[in-house]
Structure 1
Amino acid sequence: MEMNANLFVALRANFAEDLDACAIEVADGEAGAGAGQRYSWRDIDRATAMIANLLDSLDLPAGSRVAVQTEKSVEALLLYLAVLRAGYVYLPLNTAYQAAELSYFIDNAEPAVVVCAGRNFGWVSKLAFQAKVPWVFTLDEDRRGTLLDRAVQMSDRHQPAERKADDLAAILYTSGTTGRSKGAMLSHGNLLSNAQVLKHCWGWRADDVLIHALPIFHVHGLFVASHGALLAGAKMLWFNRFDPRAVIARLPDATLFMGVPTLYVRMLEQATLTREACARMRLFISGSAPLLIETFQAWRDRTGHTILERYGMSETVMLTSNPYRAEDGDRLGGTVGFPLPGVGLRVLDDAGEPCPSTGDGEIGHIQVTGPNVFAGYWRMPEKTREEFTADGWFKTGDVGRRDERGYVTIVGRSKDLIISGGYNVYPAEIEGWLNELPGVAESAVVGVPHPDFGEAVIAVVVPRPGAQVEGAAVIAALKDRIANFKVPKRVFVENELPRNAMGKVQKNLLRERHRGLFV
C-alpha cells in the first residue's frame, strides 16, 4: 500500500516527542488578542482534528476549496492544517482585498466553504451566497466565531485523508499587477519537498524557536515559516501583528527570524536592537522583496549577524538561498544565493540561448524546474501552457544573472523592463545608482509612454529623514555615472513608495500615476 502523501501526515510525524510541550506561544503585548496563550503539540493535533471533522460533516465534494480571509491568529493556522488534514484545498486571501477582488476569487475558485472575519460577515456572505457557496463561517483573532463554535462539538480524533503527492493542497492567487489574478495550484508534494529541502539547507532543529511575525495569506509566512517550524518540531513565538519593539524584546528567547525587508528596516530604527539582544539568534532570513544593500550592511554592523536572502514565488515556493553554513560559501548582499538542491535554474537570452556566467554574468530570463514547481494555473490551461517551455521549465518572469561562482542576482521582473529608444533599461540597475546618492533612502524606477522614445525612464525617490533631495540634482548626478538613455527623464521626490502587504513596491501604481506625463 502506498504511503499517505498528505502534507499534514508528514508534519504531524515530526511533532515534538513530548506532545504536551509548548508548540506555539502568542507573543503579542498585553493588549494583543490571546497574549500569553500557549498551544501544545497535543492541542494542535486535537484542534485540527475537530475542525477537520467539522469540514467532513459538511459532505463536501472531493477537491473542494476552502477560501479564508481572516486576521492572523493561531486558530487561522489550525484551520489551514485542518483543511490539509481533511484533504481539501486551502485558498488564503489577503486581508486587504475588498469586495470586487473577493468577488472575483469566489467566482473563479468556486469554494465550497468561505471563512471570514466576523465584522465582514455581512458583505462577504452576500457575495458568497450570490455565488452559491453553501457554507460561510466566521473566525476572529480572539478565538470567537461560528467555525470554532461548531468545531468544538466535534470529536478530537481524525484519520487524515489519503492523498497522493500530486493532489492539490492549496491555491495561491498571484497579486495580479498585470491582468487578472491567476491561481497557482500547489500540491502536497510541492509543499513537502520544499519544506524538507529548507529543513536541511537552513539547519532547522527541534530546539529552534522561530519568531513568526509574518502574514499567513502568503508563501513566506504560511508555508516557509510555518512548515519549517512544524517539520522540525520547533516552537514558534507567534505575533499576530508585527511590532518592532515587541519582537526585539523576544529575540533573546528565539533562534530564528523570518521577515520582509520592511521589518528589518523598522527594527533597525529601534535603539534596543543590539548585539546582546541577538546573542542567542542563529539565523535571520529575508525575502518577498529585494533587500537594500544598505539594510544588509547596517544589520550586520549593528547585530553581528549576516541576513540570509533567498528567492521564491507563489508558483514555486523557494527556489534559491544564500548559504547557511560558512563552508558552503559567503552570504552575499544583493544576491539570492544558489539554486536549492533539486531545483534547476537557467538564464536565457531573448533568443532562448543560455547567458554566459563569466564575471558577473549576463542578464537574461530566469527559468526553473523541480519538485517544488506548481502544476499550473487554476482553470487557465492556455495561460499555463504559455508559462512553461516545451521542455517543461517554468518561465518565472524574472530577469537576472548568474555569476561565475553560481550566485544568482534578481534584476527585476521582465514586465518591468523599460525599452526606451530601442535600448533595454533594467530598473533595478538604475535604482542601485539612485540609492547610492547622498540623501536618498530608496527609489523606484518605471517606464511611462513617450511619443519619441516609446517609453521614458522616470524615478521616484524617497529622501532620508532630514535630507533635502532635488530631482534636477539627482538627474545631473546620474548623467556623470551612467549612459544617457538610462538616466530618468524626470525624478519625483515623495515621502514613501506604495507597497503591498509583503513590502513589495507596487510599480503598477507608479506607472498609472505618471502615465500621462509625456503624452
Structure 2
Amino acid sequence: MPFSLYTLIEASFPADRRRIAIEVPDRSRGRTSWTYGELASAAARASTLLGNLGLEKGDRVAVQVEKSPEALILYLGCLRGGFVFLPMNTAYRPDEVDYLVGNAEPAAIVCDPTRDAEMRDIAARHGTRHVLTLDPEGNGSFAEEAAKVLEARPVAACVSNDLAAILYTSGTTGKPKGAMLSHGNLAANGIALRDSWRFTDEDILLHALPIFHAHGLFVACHCALLSGARMIWLGRFDRAEVLRQLPRATVFMGVPTFYVRLLDGGDFDAGVVSHMRLFTSGSAPLLAETFEEFKARTGKAILERYGMTETGMNTSNPYDGERRAGTVGFPLPDVELRVTGDDGRELPQGDVGGLEVRGPNVFGGYWRMPEKTAEEFAEGGWFRTGDVAKIDADGYVHLVGRAKDLIISGGFNVYPKEIETLIDEMPEVDESAIVGVPHRDFGEAGVAVVVLRRGQTLDEATLIGRLKSVIANYKVPKHAFFVETLPRNTMGKVQKNLLRETYADACR
C-alpha cells in the first residue's frame, strides 16, 4: 500500500498554514521564521530541484551542513522525493567523510561552502554527480537553485518499507555501519512518541539539539511536525540563550550534558520553568544525581527514554506516573523487549542479560552488510541491542551496562575499536586500549592506555594531536596514559574493566 512519511507529516500540519512552524531567535542574517505553508512549499522546491538534477527514488543524498531551518527543509524534500537522506556529523574529518561517501555512493552531496573544495575531491573519487552548498544562514548553491524552481513535482510514490534515511554508526570493527531506516520505521516511532508525550499544536519545542543525529532530527522534529507544534530553533546549545527562550517554550529535549550545564548556575530555578510541561533526556545515561538535583531545584521530573540509531526510541518513562531515576521506563506502544542469556533464551524478570527489541521501529539492516545484519538479529526478528539490562517487578527497564564497550560522550557514540586502530597504526605504538571513564560534563569520556614499542617515545600531546587531525574531536580521548603492559585474562583478552577502575578519576 502506498505510504510516505512526508505525506503523513504534511497531513499533520495545522489547517491554518499561516501558523509559525519554526522561528530562529539567534540568527544574525537570513530568514527568522517559517509558517507551515512556507515549510511545505520550500520542501516541494527542494524535492523538485533534486529530481531535476536527475536523482531518482532511492538515490542517496549525503548532507554535512551546520544546523539551519533550510537543512531541515532539505530533509523534508528528500522524504517528499523518495530520496534517502544521509546526514553526517559536522565534526567528521575528510577521511571519515570519504569512507561514508564511498560506502553509500550518494548521487548528491550538500555541504557547507567552506568544505566545497574538499567535498568535490571526495565526490570525484567516488562518482558522486552533484555537490551543492548550504551555509548556516540558508545561503549557498542549494538554496539559490531551489529558489528558481517554479513548478513542483508530485510527491514520490513510496511504500512503508522504502528507505527514508541511512544513519551511520561506528562499529566494534572500526568501520561505520549504515543503519537503513524506512518510512514506516520513522513514522511508527514518531507517532508513538507524539502520542506518549502528549504533543499538540499548542506546544512550543525549544530545539537546541544537532540535526545530524537521530535525537534532534527524528525524535524532536518529528514530534513537533506530526503535531503541528512550533519550534524555537537554536543553532546549538547555549546556556544563556536557552535560559532566555525557556519562558516561551513548553517542551525541551536534551542530552544529560545540557541538564548538567543548566544546573551549574543559580539563575536556573523553578521560576524559569514553571510553565514547562515536559523535559526529556536521552542519547546517554542520565545520572541519578542529576535527575534528583533537577527535580529538587525545579519541581520537574526529567523524562528519560532509551533508543539507538538502529531502532529509534524503544522505551520511555511514563508521561503520567512515576518517572524513576536510573531507569528508562517501559516499552513504547507496539515495541517488544526481552532480556536473554548467553544461550539466547529469555531470562526471568529481574535477571540481567542482553537486551533485545522487536517492533515496527526496528531498522531493516545495515547498508551493504548482509552478514553483519544477520549476525545482529536473533530468530523471530529480535534485534540484539548490545546493551545489558534488567526489567524490574514493576516493568521498568534498567540499563546496567553495554556489551560492546561503547562510550557515550556528550550524547555522541564513541567506539573504542575505531580509535584503537588509529593509535595502533602509529609507528611508536605496540598496542592500545580505549576505555570510558566518568566525566561530569560529558557523562563519560574516553582515555587511551598505550603500550609503546621497545625504545620508542611518544607523549600525550603528540598522540592526541595526531588523532585530532583525522577524527572528530568528540572521539579523541581526553587523556593518554603510557604503561608497560595491558592487563589480560587467561584467554589473553584485555581486561578493560580493570582499566576503567584504574583511571576512573582521570576526568573528574
Q: After TM superposition, is the score higher than 0.5?
A: yes
User: Is 1:332 equivalent to 2:324 in the alignment?
Assistant: yes
Q: What is the aligned partner in structure 1 of residue 400 from structure 2?
A: 411
Alignment of 1:62 onto 2:57: yes
Q: Which residue of 2 aligns with 1:347?
A: 339
Deviations 1:482-503 (A, max 9, x none): xxxxxx3x2353346xxxxxxx
TM-score (norm 2): 0.83
CA distance 1:367–1:442, shift in 2 (3 Å): closer
In structure 2, C-alpha distance between the alignment counterparts of 1:272 and 1:151, rounded to whole Å: 44
Counterpart of 1:265? 260
Change (3 A) 1:239 1:179: same
Asked whether 1:491 is paired with 2:486, we answer no
**1:513 maps to which residue?**
none
Task: Summarize deviations over 1:115-162 as a string: whole Å, max 9, x none.
Answer: 000001011111111211100000001111000111100026442111
1:371, 1:384 → 2: CA distance?
A: 17
Question: Which residue in 2 is equivalent to 1:393?
Answer: 382
- Report Cα offsets for 1:270-325 as digits up to 9, x if no partner: 33211111011010000000001111011101111000000011110010000001
User: Where do 1:123-162 residues align within 5 Å?
Assistant: 123-155=118-150, 157-162=152-157
CA contact (8 A) 1:445 1:459 kept: no
Q: Which residue of 2 aligns with 1:472?
A: none
Please list the CA deviations of residues 333-357 of structure 1 after superposition, one character each: whole Å capped at 9, or x if unmatched.
Answer: 1100001110010000112222221
2:190–2:223 CA contact under 8 A, matched in 1: yes
Provide the residue aligned with 2:169 in structure 1.
Answer: 174
Aligned partners of 2:162 and 2:335: how far apart in 1? 20
> Partner of 1:246 in structure 2?
241
Contact 2:257 2:443 in 1 (8 A): no
Name the count of aligned residue pairs.
440
Per mean C-alpha deviation after superposition, the further-off stretch among 387-396 and 70-79 is 387-396
Cα distance in 2 between the residues matched to 1:41 and 1:491: 51
CA displacement at 1:95 relative to structure 2 = 0.5
Structure 2 residue identity aligned to 1:494: A
Cα shift readout 1:180-206 (whole Å, capped 9, x = no counterpart): 110000000000011111111111111
1:493 alignment partner, SS class: coil
| Counterpart check, 1:450 vs 2:450 | no
Identity %: 48
Indicate whether 1:7 and 2:19 are aligned: no
Contact 2:260 2:441 in 1 (8 A): no
Are 1:139 and 1:147, in contact at CA under 8 Å, matched by a contact in 2? yes
SS at match of 2:503: strand
1:234 paired residue number: 229
SS in 2 for 1:150: helix
Shift of 1:27: 2.5
1:96 aligned residue (78, 91, 107): 91
Partner residue in 2 for 1:372: 361
Separation (CA, whole Å) in 1 of partners of 2:276 and 2:507:
33
* Helix, strand or coil at the partner of 1:333: coil
Given that residues 447 and 455 in structure 1 are in contact (C-alpha distance below 8 angstroms), is that contact kept between their aligned partners in structure 2?
Answer: no
Is the alpha carbon distance of 1:304 and 1:148 closer, same or farther for their aligned partners in structure 2, counting shifts above 3 Å?
Answer: same
Gaps of 5+ in 1: 418-429, 461-487, 497-519
Report the counterpart of residue 310 of structure 2 in structure 1: 315
Question: Is the contact between residue 322 and residue 336 of structure 1 (CA under 8 Å) also seen in structure 2?
Answer: yes
Match of 2:456 in 1: none
Alignment root-mean-square deviation, CA: 2.3
2:186 maps to 191
Task: Pick one of 219, 222, 234 that aligns with 1:224.
Answer: 219
Give the distance between the partners of 2:267 and 2:30, measured in 1 at CA: 22
- 1:56 positional shift: 1.0
User: How many angstroms apart in 2 are the aligned matches of 1:346 and 1:141?
Assistant: 43
Query: Is the CA contact 1:397–1:414 (under 8 Å) kept in the aligned structure 2?
Result: yes
Distance 1:332 1:280, change over 3 A: same
Q: What does the per-residue CA deviation read over 1:103-126, in whole Å, with 9 as the maximum and x for residues that have no partner? A: 110110000000000001011111
Give the Cα–Cα distance (whole angstroms) in 2 for the partners of residues 36 and 279 of structure 1: 31
For the 8 Å contact 1:349–1:364, the answer to whether it is kept is: yes
Distance in 1, matches of 2:3 and 2:144, equals 30
Q: Which blocks of at least 5 consecutive residues in structure 2 are unaligned?
A: 407-435, 450-485
Structure-2 separation of matches of 1:270 and 1:308: 22
CA offset digits 1:219-239 (Å, max 9, x no partner): 100000001000000000000
2:302 and 2:317 map into 1 onto residues whose CA distance is: 9
Q: Distance in 2 between matches of 1:76 and 1:445?
A: 31
Q: Does 1:384 align with 2:373?
A: yes
What is the rounded CA distance, in whole Å, between the counterparts of 1:263 and 1:440 in structure 2?
9
Counterpart code for 1:115? V
**Residues in 2 aligned to 1:52 and 1:104: alpha-carbon distance in whole angstroms:** 26
* Equivalent residue, structure 2, for 1:485: none
Deviation (angstroms), 1:381: 0.6
In the alignment, the residues of structure 2 paired with residue 36 and residue 492 of structure 1 have an alpha-carbon distance, to the nearest angstrom, of: 47
Where 1:312 maps in the other structure, the secondary structure is strand
**Do the aligned partners of residues 12 and 445 (structure 1) sit closer, same or farther apart at CA in structure 2, a change above 3 Å counting?**
closer
> What's the TM-score, normalizing by structure 1?
0.81
Question: Which residue identity is paired with 2:106?
Answer: P
| Aligned partners of 1:118 and 1:139 also within 8 Å | yes
Deviation at 1:440, TM superposition (A): 12
Q: What letter matches 2:120 in structure 1? A: S
Q: Which residue of 1 aligns with 2:352?
A: 363
Secondary structure of the equivalent of 1:232?
coil
Contact 1:245/1:267 (CA < 8 Å) preserved in 2? Answer: no
CA distance in structure 2 between the aligned counterparts of 1:133 and 1:75, rounded to whole angstroms: 22
Alignment partners' CA distance in 1, 2:173 and 2:286: 23
